[in-house]
Each structure stands twice: as structure tokens, then as C-alpha cells.
Amino acid sequence: MDLQSAGYGIVIVVSVNIGRPVVLVRHGRQYSTAINRQPAAGPLRLSQTGFVGDRVSDDRCHGGPHRAACVYPHDHYPYFARRLGRELGVPSFGENLTTQGWLETDACIGDVCRVGGATVQISSPRQPCSKLALKHDAPELVGWIRATGYSGFYLRVLEEGDVTAGDAIRLVERPHPEHSLARVQHALFAREPDRELLRRMAALPELSPSYGHSLHRRLNGDLIDGE
């Protein structure tokens, strides 16, 4: 199925990005993070545990088979460039895949897509990450992401393959068209939670266990701060 027929425009990979943990110093404190990823030259293998050559710093919040790759839409860059008052290079949000046209308002939990030579499935939205605020030295950034829903999202890999900049992204299967990533995020962070909706979302078999845990916490009355 062409993504354009599912409500998308042209959907492509803008950049494939990898990195390794480094120490980031902010305001006299040191943080280990792999958020300063860099574009990779040429095709890169996407395996069930992520892109070859990529590493995460904190595997409690990143990486693993349900978060093998992080996607961030380049469509959101202009908004944050205005808010931050500066141009933003790619990648600016620690993502593995910078994409064009693949948005949280359209993409749904469980979507199976062909990205270059790999087949992937959307497993969850990305929760706002404090390391993004540190990277940009902007404490307000997490709040902006939560308010806009411009979070990005995670993929699991169903079939390994090579991915490179310029590759098309094609929808193969959509089991849950009613559960867009934007709707799932809104349910998690809503001031007055819809308990029945949270239960239905938490029961989705394609949802990552960590995000399901966050939905169950919200059901129990906890407020969710992010990664």
C-alpha cells in the first residue's frame, strides 16, 4: 500500500544516523549519552537490535528489539528552529532515521512499513527525553515536545535490510488505524485520563512493553515525566 493513499504525502528517508555514547557536560555536570549521532555515508544495515555501528547509553530507555530504531520527522525541524532561535542540522533529536512526511498524526501503532530493504513495525511513540533538553541547553524543550506531540517514534525490525538516505517508505499493513501515535500520546499525558481508552491501548499486542507499562502507570494515577 502506498503511504500517499493512507493520507501521507511523499515519505522518504532524509538521513540515517548512528553514534556511540560520549560524555556531555552541562552546567558542571557530566552525562553519558549517544544523542549526538551523525549521518552515515551510504547504505547501513538495520538489524533487529538496531543499525550496525550504533550504540545507546542507557538501555533502560533506549535500544532493544522493541526500540531498534528511533525515527524523527524532519517536518518538525522548522518549528523547533524558530523556538530555539537557530538553525538545526540533521540529526538534532538523537534519531537514527530522519524522515520526511512520516508523522505522528498519521502513523499508527502496529503499522508495518518497508523502509529501504528492511521491514519494520511501529512499536510506540518516543517519550520526551531529558537528554534532548541537555543537548540543546533548553530546559523548555521537553515541554514543547509534549505540547506539540512532535515526539518521534520507535520501530522494531521484522526483516533486516539495508537503509540509506533517499529510500522510500511504504506502508505494508495497518492493523490499528484508530490508534495513531498522536492519539496514544494524548491518552498518556491527558490531564483527565480516559481509562477505558488507556486499557484498550495498553492491550495492543504490537505496543512496546515499556510504553504499555507507562499506560498502566497512568491508569494507576501516576503522572508520566518522560524518559
Predicted confidence at residue 3, as pLDDT, reads 58
Average pLDDT of 172-177?
Answer: 98
Q: Where are the domains of the chain?
A: 3-175
Average pLDDT of 194-216?
Answer: 97
**What is the model's pTM?**
0.93
Mean pLDDT of the chain: 92
Top CATH class, 3-175: mainly beta
CB within 8 A of 182, min separation 6: which ones? 104, 105, 149
Beta carbons of 183 and 207 less than 8 angstroms apart: no
Instruction: Name the grid cell of 93.
Output: 533529536
